[in-house]
């Protein structure tokens, strides 16, 4: 445990004047990896500077692939130059998953038509097949639910509870709540299928849609599904309401059930977090007082909620005051506390102070985790010290910390921000080699960079790579693509992506629609403009 002097130094740190010296990283950086190019040395990449290939000297960015990555891209056999961005089909792998995905990629008006299409195929329903299809089409409920119904009707096949949970979540995500409740009723008739995990999915999707009262009603009626209405369930519904933006409903549930379900420290911390998230400082303080009256002492989670609020307000004096109080109460900051403060200092452009705080953390015996390293990488990159960010990234394993999804996502985002195209895509390749599965946040900065640099062939490859990794494209990604392609003048592609968005039942943002229509009008692409206008009317609820 850190000594009182160490904690005192930690708190006094916030009272010191802004340092003018550069604070080195604690660990001696490893050798700079050969591929990354620091913004401090903005040379043209070697593969381009030394190339004599006349094709690289031209302006045909559409089909351009960085030579060092060409084999990896081509070997995946994911790109067909004659395809639009939609309906991306894999030609090399003919597994049942890919065969079924090719069928589901077509647009169907109903789940019945999906079932009919799958009935005409010869492959068998398996847990693995349906699991991957639900993951791959998690943002496209018609093919997902159609595949789910088709499999359920196959002789000798029974969905396990996990797949029912996945389908409940998909329907809730797309706000198909009537179907979600019907499926839940079906699960009720299958012994042991409805669990607290199932109900947490239901409550979270309702709350995310702003149906807070419905989420609370789901908790009230949880026992009819054979799920205990206990402290764990209470804390889950409260946490759900807080995370989805209604600490008021969380407090209401707390007050309604606290006499029949004994609350604990976590219950109070959830409310404190909710009030701090909503910037209701006095309510958070009052909740902490109530917590102490109930015999619970504030812990590191309680104090960290306040520190996080003060950091968002850039009120580092009160951060210091809270650290002082922690010292007085003998409550030691943890790695989450340190990371929150370090990141806030970095975002406030107090880079030296952020790095000094990182050193204090290590001197106090708190071991950085992957989230801490990811924040450090982000801070260094944002300050233009990309070379140091790479050093931290490469040094993690030597420090006994594995690079996880968050770390890769952070480093990829940093490389894309600095337009280090080769390094960014090589990181995706390294993820594949390290068996680290990418998610939608991995691809978003890569897609944005490809739009900006007009790399259409690489863009198609990335979209296919997403599909192959069962990463379902959501509305925000479609929006990113349409806007990015518009800015790059690739209006045919932008129209294709916009059409795909609507055909998948999503409602594009009005500003995205307006941007595309204006660009088409300026280019005198009248027929395409009229088609986009019809698509906007076709969308369910235009968001004006």
Q: Looking at the structure, do residues 461 and 485 belong to the same domain, yes or no?
A: no
At residue 505, the pLDDT reads: 83
Write the pLDDT tens digit of every residue in 296-314.
Answer: 999 999 999 999 999 999 9
**Sign of the torsion angle spanned by Cα atoms 529, 533, 539, 544:** positive
pTM to 2 decimal places: 0.81
Q: Looking at the structure, do residues 440 and 483 belong to the same domain, yes or no?
A: no
Residues of the chain whose pLDDT is less than 70?
Answer: 1-94, 540-544
Q: Looking at the structure, do residues 152 and 117 belong to the same domain, yes or no?
A: yes
Q: Which residues neighbour 504 within 8 Å (Cβ) at sequence distance 6 or greater? A: 107, 139, 140
- The whole-angstrom separation of Cα 488 and Cα 476 is 18
Distance of CA 508 to the CA centre of its chain: 20
Q: Looking at the structure, do residues 409 and 429 belong to the same domain, yes or no?
A: yes
Q: Looking at the structure, do residues 482 and 444 belong to the same domain, yes or no?
A: no
> 488 in a domain, yes or no?
yes
Residue with tokens 């299928």: 193
Of the residues 148, 178, 194, the one at which a domain ends: 194
CB 156 within 8 A of CB 186: no
Contacts by 184-192 with C-beta closer than 8 Å and gap 24+? 184/225, 187/161, 187/225, 188/224, 188/225, 188/226, 190/161, 190/164, 192/161, 192/226
Count the Cβ atoms, other than its own, within 10 Å of residue 127: 14
Q: Looking at the structure, do residues 479 and 407 belong to the same domain, yes or no?
A: no
Q: Which residues neighbour 132 within 8 Å (Cβ) at sequence distance 6 or greater? A: 97, 470
Give the CATH number of the domain where residue 436 resides.
1.25.40.10
Structural domain count, the chain: 3
- The whole-angstrom separation of Cα 318 and Cα 311 is 9
Helix (H) or strand (E) holding 362: helix 351-363
Q: Looking at the structure, do residues 445 and 520 belong to the same domain, yes or no?
A: no
Count the Cβ atoms, other than its own, within 10 Å of residue 9: 14
At residue 121, the pLDDT reads: 87
CB 366 within 8 A of CB 333: yes
> 48 in a domain, yes or no?
no
At residue 75, the pLDDT reads: 58
CB 424 within 8 A of CB 415: yes
Q: Looking at the structure, do residues 410 and 505 belong to the same domain, yes or no?
A: no
> 18 in a domain, yes or no?
no
3-state secondary structure of 123: coil
Write the pLDDT tens digit of every residue in 356-402.
Answer: 999 999 998 999 999 999 999 999 999 999 999 999 999 998 899 99
3-state secondary structure of 543: strand
Q: Looking at the structure, do residues 379 and 451 belong to the same domain, yes or no?
A: yes
- The whole-angstrom separation of Cα 299 and Cα 302 is 5
Q: What domain range includes position 169? A: 98-194
At residue 310, the pLDDT reads: 97
Q: Distance of CA 297 to CAs 1, 283, 304, Å?
A: 19, 17, 14
- The whole-angstrom separation of Cα 135 and Cα 438 is 13
Dihedrals phi, psi of 152, to nearest 5 degrees: -60, -30
Q: Looking at the structure, do residues 380 and 447 belong to the same domain, yes or no?
A: yes
- The whole-angstrom separation of Cα 468 and Cα 382 is 32
> 254 in a domain, yes or no?
no
> 518 in a domain, yes or no?
yes
- The whole-angstrom separation of Cα 146 and Cα 82 is 29
Q: Looking at the structure, do residues 147 and 166 belong to the same domain, yes or no?
A: yes
> 87 in a domain, yes or no?
no
Q: Which residues pair with 509 in a beta bridge?
A: 543
Q: Looking at the structure, do residues 455 and 496 belong to the same domain, yes or no?
A: no
> 536 in a domain, yes or no?
yes
Of the residues 194, 212, 235, the one at which a domain ends: 194
Of the residues 432, 451, 472, the one at which a domain ends: 472
Nearest to 468 by CA among 155, 91, 160: 91
> 393 in a domain, yes or no?
yes
């Amino acid at each position: 445990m850190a000594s009182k002097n160490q904690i005192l130094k930690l708190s006094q740190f916030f009272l010191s004047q802004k340092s003018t010296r550069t604070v080195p990283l604690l660990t001696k950086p490893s050798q700079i990896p050969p591929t990354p190019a620091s913004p401090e040395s903005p040379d043209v990449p070697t593969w381009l500077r030394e190339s004599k290939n006349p094709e690289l000297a031209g302006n045909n960015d559409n089909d351009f692939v960085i030579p060092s990555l060409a084999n990896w891209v081509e070997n995946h056999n994911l790109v067909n130059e004659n395809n639009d961005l939609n309906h991306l089909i894999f030609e090399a792998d003919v597994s049942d998953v890919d065969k079924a995905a090719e069928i589901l990629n077509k647009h169907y008006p109903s789940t019945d038509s999906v079932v009919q299409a799958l009935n005409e195929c010869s492959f068998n329903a398996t847990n693995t097949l349906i699991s991957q299809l639900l993951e791959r089409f998690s943002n496209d409920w018609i093919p997902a639910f159609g595949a789910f119904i088709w499999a359920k009707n196959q002789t000798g096949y029974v969905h396990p509870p996990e797949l029912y949970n996945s389908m409940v979540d998909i329907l809730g995500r797309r706000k198909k709540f009537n179907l979600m409740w019907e499926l839940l009723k079906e699960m009720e008739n299958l012994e042991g299928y409805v669990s607290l995990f199932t109900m947490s999915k239901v409550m979270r999707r309702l709350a995310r849609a702003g149906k807070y009262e419905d989420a609370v009603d789901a908790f009230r009626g949880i026992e009819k599904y054979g799920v205990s209405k206990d402290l764990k369930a209470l804390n889950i519904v409260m946490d759900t309401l807080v995370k989805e933006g209604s600490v008021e409903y969380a407090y209401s549930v707390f007050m309604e059930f606290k006499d029949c379900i004994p609350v604990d420290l976590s219950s109070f911390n959830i409310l404190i977090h909710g009030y701090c998230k909503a910037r209701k400082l006095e309510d958070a303080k009052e909740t902490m007082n109530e917590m102490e009256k109930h015999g619970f002492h504030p812990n590191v989670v309680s104090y960290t909620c306040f520190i996080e609020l003060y950091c968002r307000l850039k009120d580092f004096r009160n951060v210091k005051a809270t650290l002082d109080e922690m010292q007085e109460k003998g409550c030691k900051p943890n790695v989450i506390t340190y990371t929150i403060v370090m990141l806030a200092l970095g975002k406030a452009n107090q880079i030296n102070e952020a790095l000094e705080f990182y050193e204090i953390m290590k001197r106090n015996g708190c071991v950085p985790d992957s989230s801490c390293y990811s924040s450090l990488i982000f801070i260094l990159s944002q300050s233009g010290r990309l070379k140091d960010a790479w050093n931290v990234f490469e040094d993690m394993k030597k420090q006994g910390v594995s690079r996880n999804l968050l770390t890769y996502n952070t480093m990829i985002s940093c490389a894309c921000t600095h337009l280090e195209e080769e390094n960014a895509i090589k990181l995706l390749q390294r993820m594949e080699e390290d068996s680290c599965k990418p998610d939608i946040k991995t691809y978003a900065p890569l897609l944005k960079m490809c739009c900006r640099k007009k790399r259409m062939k690489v863009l198609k490859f990335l979209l296919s790579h997403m599909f192959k990794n069962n990463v379902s494209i959501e509305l925000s990604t479609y929006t990113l693509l349409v806007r990015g392609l518009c800015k790059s003048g690739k209006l045919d592609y932008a129209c294709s992506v916009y059409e795909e968005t609507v055909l998948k039942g999503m409602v594009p943002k009005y500003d995205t629609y307006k941007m595309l229509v204006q660009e088409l009008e300026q280019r005198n692409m009248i027929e395409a403009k009229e088609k986009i206008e019809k698509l906007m009317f076709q969308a369910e609820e235009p968001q004006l």
